Amino acid sequence: MNFSLTNVPDFLPLAEIENLQVALLKKQLRYIQANSRFYKGKFSIGEIEGISTVSDLSSFIRTSKKDLAEFNPDFLSISQREVVEYVTTSGTTGKPVTIALSKANLKRLAYNEARSLSIAGFTADDIVQITTTLDKGFMAGMAYYMGLTELGAAVLRAGQGSPEFHCEMIKQIQPTALVAVPSFLQKLGLSASSFTHQIKKALCIGEPLRNKDFSDNQLSINIAKCWDLDLRSTYASTEMATAFTECSEKKGGHLLPELIILEILDEHGNEVADGELGEVTVTPLGVEAMPLLRFRTGDLARKYSSPCACGRNTPRLGPIEGRLAQMIKLKGTAIFPGQIEDVLHSFPTANPYLIRLESDDNGMDAVTIELPETCTHQDMDTLLVNLQARLRVKPTLKRSSISEIQRILFRGESRKPKKIIDTRNAEN
């Protein structure tokens, strides 16, 4: 890919963006058809050449997480000698899956993240402290580092650690920006003192900052109580190797048209109307090692295609509102763990926590929330009232020791806390 950070397509007229995506999509499909064992015979050259709009992609096969896990070697579309990096998915809703990268894919990854960071307001003048892990096959940590260096920023690869450790690094290096999970950013803000004043912005990963109407959610509000930061949310996954990042308007993450095609689909695989909830389905462009076609992420969000007030004409992806695999039917009401977490974030004594999704004796969904012993009975009573008001049903609350909750959060040497335990599915 021969794209430049100084000549991006975001501000082109909609028709030109569409033409660019169609041309890149055809090129990607030709490559997949010629090189991928998994997709071999699943579509023809004639079907590729018949594409005139991005929406014509709807007639092509979709790819599931199960496909990628079960037939993983068949997705490799380059020789073994051309592989330069192996990364793994986080395994948030299942077992981690291995993804191979080529040298060109690494360059694409650096470009993607530099583009995203630029949209988030990061510049070459920044000193950025990365608080996420860069080991254990974690693509995101590597991507942030590569993107920041591509952008020309200075980087402190602090990685995972206690708030006290990160505070010490802030004192020593005096960064101007952070890359962090929002819930950790809240902890860091509570631990930090006035020396953090030079940090002006943060790129937030892994957890949403906005409600579905783009208002600040409780976690974002809590962070704002600790310190004054320009918080930008970004959404990506190892499989898509592309990010959707908020601009200054904070009305959804902008699509990078030269790197990915986005569809929002209903349960039958049909595209939903703009602004309606559906499954995020993506076709990454320019990926050569393990290209994916119409990959179903399992995440639920909304797409907004109207031009943004920032001047970009690219579609925007709203906050992730839930995961299909984690949807709960509790007493006839459909809820998602994210709705529970938003309530928990308004109770400082309810941290750390675990959300257990189980089947009861009748095979129905049941939800139990484990809270630390420091959460008082009065807090639990108030929390239950708030949960019922938000969810319209009552989950079960119980208390456990902080050490036991922490042990389960990082079970199996997990590189990030797994706050949701779903025993309804044998894979979780």
What are the Cα distances from residue 170, in Å, to 36, 110, 191, 205, 310? 46, 25, 12, 20, 31
Residue 428: inside a domain, yes or no? no
Tell me whether residue 1 is in a domain: no
Quote the number of domains for the chain: 2
Mean residue pLDDT of the chain comes to: 90
312 and 396 together in one domain:
no
Give the domain-ending residue among 322, 354, 370.
Answer: 322
Q: Under DSSP, is residue 175 helix (H, G, I), strand (E, B) or coil?
A: coil
User: What percent of the chain shows pLDDT beyond 90?
Assistant: 64
pLDDT tens-digit series, residues 19-30: 999 999 999 999
102 touches 82 (CB < 8 A):
yes
Answer whether 353's CB lies under 8 Å from 249's CB.
no
Of the candidates 347, 334, 348, 344, the one whose C-alpha atom is nearest the C-alpha of residue 419 is: 344
Q: Model confidence at 307, in pLDDT bands (50, 70, 90)?
A: very high
Measured distance between the N- and C-terminal CA atoms of the chain, rounded to whole angstroms: 38
Domain that holds residue 413: 327-422
Q: Let me know: does 40 contact 32? Beta carbons within 8 Å.
A: no
**pLDDT tens digits, residue range 367-416?**
999 999 989 999 999 999 998 888 877 899 999 999 999 889 877 666 66
Tens digit of each residue's pLDDT (9 = 90 or more) over 115-154: 999 999 999 999 999 998 888 788 988 999 999 999 999 9
Average pLDDT over residues 174-191: 88
353 with 398, same domain? yes
Say if residue 289 is in the same domain as residue 339: no
Does residue 76 have a pLDDT over 50?
yes
Measured CA to CA, the distance from residue 101 to residue 111 in angstroms comes to: 14
Q: Clarify whether residues 265 and 335 are in a common domain.
A: no
Q: Are 330 and 395 in contact (CB under 8 A)?
A: yes
pLDDT tens, residue by residue, 238-254: 999 999 999 999 999 99
- How many Å apart are CA 383 and CA 414, to the nearest integer? 28
The answer on 180 and 33 residing in a single domain is yes
The rounded distance, in Å, linking the Cα atoms of 149 and 112 is 12
Q: Using an 8 Å Cβ cutoff, are 68 and 239 in contact? A: yes
Residue 414, burial from CB neighbour count under 10 angstroms (0-12, 13-18, 19+): middle
Tell me how crowded residue 225 is: count the other CB atoms within 10 A of its CB: 9
Please report the pLDDT score of residue 362 as a whole number.
Answer: 63
pTM, two decimals, is 0.83
Widest Cα–Cα separation across the chain: 67
Give the model's confidence band at 193: pLDDT under 50 very low, under 70 low, under 90 confident, else very high: low
